[in-house]
Amino acid sequence: MIREFALSDFGFLLLATRWTVLLALAATVGGGIIGLAIAVLRIVPVAPLNWFAIGYINLIQGTPLLGQLFVLFFGLPLIGLSVDAWTAAVVALSLYSSAFFGEIWRGSLQSVPHRQWEAGAALGLTYRQRFTDVVLPQAIRISIAPTVGFLVQIVKNTSLTALIGFVELTRASQIMTAATFAPLTVYLAAAAIYFVLCLGLSWASHVLEGKIHVAR
């Protein structure tokens, strides 16, 4: 039976938001781990590793996230590998995020002046020591703004998982629209929740940048 949108319905959307947040966190962790490895493979002086990283980035960035979700959720069962919506969503978003994190962090690493590497070598530091103790701390400061900017994209991209049946904020909005037949009200409420989440990330980025003096 169709009914009016009530405060309890907004509470339902807020409960579904926790899955949006958890999915974004899982994708950030998974994508961050893979992305860091890809960034390192892009800058190490070993050509085959560079080629592998470039190929991976081109493959992931050159295909739509929705297509990757469909391949994992609908394609894998065709070869006997069934996955649930949560697993497919986490894996797809992690792989998608890793390609972008890899490029963001690769650019940050390469933006550190080469003389920093040379100074470390002059001090007798090994390649690993120069990377972890000299270059990486500077690259982290440079990468904060673009990394947080992409985190906002991850939060918004979680909405695509509604198309494989994962009940996060967008899917919950679809369910609530069918119950209340008030799409404008429901989707405005969902948009407001997304806005608060993304605004919070942007604010945290500004605070963090200020604390570590990124702008100097």
Q: How many CB atoms lie within 10 A of CB 142?
A: 18
Does 215 score more than 70 pLDDT?
no
User: Residue 106: pLDDT above 50?
Assistant: yes
Using CA atoms, how far residue 126 sits from 37, 73, 117, 136, in Å, is 19, 45, 10, 14
Compute the mean pLDDT over every residue in the chain, rounded to the nearest whole number.
87
CA atoms of 38 and 52, how far apart (whole Å): 9
Q: Is the pLDDT of residue 190 over 50?
A: yes
Quote the CATH superfamily of domain 23-168: MetI-like (1.10.3720.10)
**pLDDT score of 45:** 83
Domain spans in the chain, listed from the N-terminal domain onward? 23-168
pLDDT confidence tier of residue 144, bands split at 50, 70 and 90: confident
Q: What is the pLDDT of residue 214?
A: 47
d(CA 194, CA 204): 15
Would you give the end-to-end CA distance of the chain in angstroms? 60
